[in-house]
């Protein structure tokens, strides 16, 4: 993986555009390795910086769930917390927007130091949002929720995205059980990626643990989000390593 610059303060949009100019409109080649992205939704928010630092050496990305209490019934965090996180880590910040108006938050998230923003296909055609995300110097992702049919997201699996996030649960709450039938979407997306020679990553979120990491990767996933299985474990770094080991076994 290329080196990631440590941001000591949130960057303004102009600075973000300068820092990310080389990648705007481009995707990141999919490597042979599998990336582990701990989800801070399951972390102790009263000690968030310490929680993140604790898993830093065993993580590739950091998954940040933004929920507005409308698109999903839960309420989580917003750009100010993302900006605070950015001051304390060089991890790639992967932001999953579970909000009714993602466009309202994009510039704020770019200023806060987000590296990638993913928006839900359930809100309608995401094309304009995907373009705006890249204009702001971030990578762009599209999300398909567990109950949503694959056909809803299939038209957007092309050069417009850097990431497809497949939920293996219904979005909104952490700690849910993995629903294996949703891996069929991962398989179909992986086949499209292979046939069309596209470089977007495929991320799986929901119930990822050592026993589910292998099936997810075999289906085609190359980014695994895990919240409760890491931050809810007695030894979070060891839990992250166990998921990675199971993924590549």
Instruction: Give catalytic residues, as residue numbers.
Output: 65, 205
Q: Any bridge partners for residue 249, and if so which?
A: none
Q: What is the DSSP string of 49-69?
A: HHHHHHHGGG-SEEEEEEEBS
Burial category of 22 from C-beta neighbours within 10 Å (exposed 0-12, middle 13-18, buried 19 and up):
exposed
Rounded CA-CA distance 97/78 in Å is 10
Q: 164 and 124 in contact (C-beta within 8 Å)?
A: no
């Amino acid at each position: 993986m290329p080196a990631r610059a440590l941001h000591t303060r949130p960057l303004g949009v102009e600075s973000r555009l300068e820092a990310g100019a080389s990648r705007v409109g481009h995707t990141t080649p999919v490597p042979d390795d599998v990336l582990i992205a701990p989800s801070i939704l399951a972390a102790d928010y009263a000690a968030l910086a310490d929680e993140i630092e604790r898993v830093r050496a065993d993580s590739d990305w950091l998954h940040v769930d933004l929920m507005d209490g409308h698109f999903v019934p839960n309420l989580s965090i917003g750009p100010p917390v993302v900006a605070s996180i950015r001051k304390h880590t060089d991890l790639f910040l992967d932001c999953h927007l579970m909000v009714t108006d993602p466009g309202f938050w994009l510039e704020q998230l770019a200023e806060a130091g987000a590296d990638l923003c993913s928006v839900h296909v359930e809100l309608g055609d995401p094309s304009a949002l995907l373009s705006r995300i890249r204009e702001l110097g971030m990578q762009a992702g599209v999300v398909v929720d567990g109950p949503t049919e694959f056909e809803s997201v299939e038209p957007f699996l092309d050069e417009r995205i850097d990431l497809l996030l497949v939920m293996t649960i219904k979005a909104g709450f952490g700690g849910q059980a993995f629903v294996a039938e949703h891996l069929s979407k991962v398989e179909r997306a992986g086949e499209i990626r292979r046939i069309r020679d596209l470089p977007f990553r495929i991320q799986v979120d929901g119930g990822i643990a050592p026993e589910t990491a292998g099936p997810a990767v075999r289906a085609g996933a190359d980014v695994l989000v895990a919240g409760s299985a890491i931050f809810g474990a007695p030894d979070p770094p060891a839990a992250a390593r166990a998921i990675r080991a199971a993924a590549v076994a």
